């Protein structure tokens, strides 16, 4: 299933947005080797029998794109999976839930009237889709990995849909409403906002690589977003990421 989307022998890149999410993966890495490149640290090794390379994306679209290019050009990544946190903007997307992205749009891309709003100039594309097989594998890994967990007395819900990325930490209801309503008026229905996903999706599109991402919802992109954020990352997102990625590499290694 997955092998068809990852040329054989090439490692799966696992990008984490935050150090807390990556720490648990580095601990589990077999034959782990740290390599410094482009002012970043990359970890090569095996996870659950699968060849992987781990990296922190860094924050924001340009940083995440640079990291993605390095993963492909220097570390020969055959596919990229991303874990991070995001603000929930879909009406039923709550803190403690996860969103698996099926497509990615840049909410701050606007070269109109030269190009239609949100379109990435010279590509003719507005949203970049996740790889269908990798997205399915990630969804299945979420279902198994999050089993039995609760957050604030509630079972984490797994959503699937559009993720909107931009170089802004969105932390106000007016700001959120502005972003969501503008996207909706162009036919886009975002479930979550974050700062990297659409950049990684665009790089993977250019290189013809499979990409999929999951975001744990740390906040509702409102005035309390920055308050909720640090505790959530430490106590919840790091646990989710470790469990989901452990399941994912186990399933992919079986299909390799
Ligand atoms: N204090 C953090 C900085 C986090 S920046 C640190 O020192 O590492 C916010 C990160 O969380 C980005 O990776 C972004 O993708 C995601 N994120 C979570 N909630 C968000 C929101 N409401 N708006 C935009 N990005 C958000």
Q: Which domain holds residue 112?
A: 2-255
Kindly give the distance from the C-alpha atom of residue 85 to the centroid of ligand 1, in angstroms, as a whole number. Answer: 7
Catalytic positions, please? 21, 219
Residue 111 preceded by cis peptide, ω within 30 = no
pLDDT, tens digit (0-9, with 9 covering 90-100), for 101-153: 999 999 999 999 999 999 999 999 999 999 999 999 999 999 999 999 999 99
Tell me the pTM.
Answer: 0.95
Strand partners, 99: 159, 215
Q: How confident is the model at residue 7 (pLDDT cuts 50, 70, 90)?
A: low
Give distance in angstroms: CA of 246 to centre of ligand 1.
Answer: 23
Q: What is the pLDDT of residue 4?
A: 46
Nearest CA to ligand 1 atom 4: 59
Which H helix or E strand runs over 128?
Answer: strand 127-129
- Nearest-CA residue for atom 9 of ligand 1: 169
Which burial class, exposed, middle or buried, applies to 41 when counting CB atoms under 10 A from its CB (0-12, 13-18, 19+)?
middle
- Tell me how far apart the alpha carbons of residues 119 and 16 are, in angstroms, rounded to a whole number: 26
Residue 33 maps to which CATH number? 3.40.50.1580
Q: How many domains does the chain have?
A: 1
- Ligand 1 pocket by C-beta < 6 Å: which residues? 17-18, 59, 84-87, 169-171, 193-196, 218-219, 221, 225
Give the integer Cα–Cα distance in Å for 133 and 140: 11
pLDDT over 70 (residue 237) = yes
How many angstroms is it from 162 CA to the middle of ligand 1?
17
Q: H helices of 46-117, where?
A: 61-73
Distance 230 CA to ligand 1 centre (A): 9
Which pLDDT band holds residue 228 (cuts at 50, 70, 90)? Answer: confident
pLDDT tens digits along 55-98: 999 999 999 999 999 999 999 999 999 999 999 999 999 999 99
Minimum CA distance residue for ligand 1 atom 8:
18
Can you give the pLDDT at residue 5? Answer: 54
Q: Which of 194, 200, 219, 224 is the best mutation target for the ligand 1 pocket, counting ligand atoms within 8 Å of the beta carbon and taking the most?
A: 194
Owner of token pair 């990409």: 211
User: Which ligand 1 atom lies nearest to the CA of residue 170?
Assistant: 23
């Amino acid at each position: 299933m997955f092998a068809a989307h990852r040329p054989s022998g090439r490692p799966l890149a696992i990008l984490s947005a935050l150090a807390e999410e990556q720490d648990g993966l580095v601990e589990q890495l077999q034959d782990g080797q740290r390599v410094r490149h482009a002012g970043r640290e990359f970890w090569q090794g095996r996870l659950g029998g699968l060849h992987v390379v781990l990296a922190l994306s860094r924050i924001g679209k340009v940083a995440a794109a640079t990291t993605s290019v390095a993963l492909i050009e220097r570390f020969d990544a055959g596919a990229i999976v991303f874990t991070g946190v995001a603000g929930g903007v879909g009406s039923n997307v709550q803190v403690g839930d996860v969103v698996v992205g099926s497509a990615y749009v840049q909410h701050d891309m606007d070269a109109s009237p030269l190009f239609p709003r949100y379109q990435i100039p010279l590509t003719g594309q507005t949203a970049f889709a996740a790889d269908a097989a990798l997205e399915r594998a990630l969804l299945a890994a979420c279902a198994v990995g999050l089993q039995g967990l609760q957050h604030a007395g509630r079972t984490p819900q797994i959503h699937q849909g559009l993720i909107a990325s931009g170089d802004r930490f969105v932390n106000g209801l007016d700001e959120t409403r502005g972003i969501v309503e503008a996207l909706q008026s162009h036919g886009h229905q975002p479930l979550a906002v974050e700062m990297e996903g659409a950049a990684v999706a665009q790089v993977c599109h250019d290189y013809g690589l499979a990409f999929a991402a999951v975001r744990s919802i740390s906040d509702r992109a409102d005035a309390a977003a920055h308050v909720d954020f640090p505790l959530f990352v430490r106590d919840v997102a790091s646990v989710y990421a470790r469990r989901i990625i452990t399941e994912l590499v186990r399933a992919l290694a079986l299909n390799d």
